[in-house]
Chains A and B, each alone.
Chain A
Amino acid sequence: NAGVTQTPKFQVLKTGQSMTLQCAQDMNHNSMYWYRQDPGMGLRLIYYSASEGTTDKGEVPNGYNVSRLNKREFSLRLESAAPSQTSVYFCASSDRGDNEQFFGPGTRLTVL
């Protein structure tokens, strides 16, 4: 099992460009999450999907959109990237909302 995979691992964007971060899990988990991690800030929840077909905003949703494509895949889209979105993005999954979350390796995004 690969667990949680994320692509790409690194990305550099210019202000105003768009991109989609991909996340997939092979653990048959119901719930999936997107976090961003900035120095000294811990992990902050951007969006989550409690189950296939549902998505909800987290703590810092502005500037992002998500799609729960199927049970395995949960993507995060930046429509018009801004320097404030420079961060490390982690995807996570759990089999239920109240169970342990497993994290992917992360995507390091720089917006110039």
Chain B
Amino acid sequence: QKEVEQNSGPLSVPEGAIASLNCTYSDRGSQSFFWYRQYSGKSPELIMSIYSNGDKEDGRFTAQLNKASQYVSLLIRDSQPSDSATYLCAVRGWGGTSYGKLTFGQGTILTVHP
């Protein structure tokens, strides 16, 4: 079973809409959660990190964490064509051989069309 799973894509939303990206993880002891954005042919860049249950907002981006449900999400409000990219969910492991290491989901491709 894959340790970090993201909602299957690709996801297509109209400009100005809210894009919702979801991620579930299997390591119940995980403490740190990250969302990276990766443009085609480029390297991943961090856009959000979240460590506590609840919401964390940064501009148009909101990360939501529910440790009891082992679920983390990213909302992008007022989506722009420049948001079109692959979004990677990453979880920092806690237990056993996963300790301290980042495990990435397979990524969700987001396309924002004008």
**Partner-B contacts on A (CB < 8 A):** 33, 35, 40-45, 48, 50, 58-59, 90, 97-98, 100-106
Contacts and interface: CB of A to CB of B under 8 A. Distances in A.
Q: Please classify the interface of chain A as helix (H, G, I), strand (E, B), loop, or mixed, using the class held by over half of its residues.
A: loop
Interface stretch (B12-20, B68-76, B77-85, B98-106): B98-106
B102 A101 contact: yes
Given A41-B106, A44-B104, A45-B102, A98 B49 contact: no
Interface residues of B, number: 20
A37 B92 CA distance: 18
11 contacts: A35-B104, A40-B106, A42-B88, A43-B102, A45-B101, A97-B100, A98-B32, A103-B44, A104-B43, A105-B43, A106-B42
B43 to A, nearest CB: 4
A42 B105 contact: yes
B62 to A, nearest CB: 18
A12 to B, nearest CB: 17
Contacts of B90: 43
A103 B43 contact: yes
A104 B43 CA distance: 7
Given A43-B44, A90-B43, A106-B43, A98 B104 contact: no
Given A41-B106, A105-B43, 16 more contacts: A35-B104, A40-B106, A42-B106, A43-B44, A44-B104, A45-B103, A48-B101, A58-B101, A59-B101, A59-B103, A90-B44, A98-B100, A101-B46, A101-B102, A103-B44, A106-B42
A101 B100 CA distance: 12
A30 B105 CA distance: 25
A100 B43 contact: no
B55 interface: no
B41 to A, nearest CB: 9
A56 B5 CA distance: 25
Contacts of B107: 42
Contacts of A40: 106
Interface in B31-68: 32, 34, 42-46, 49
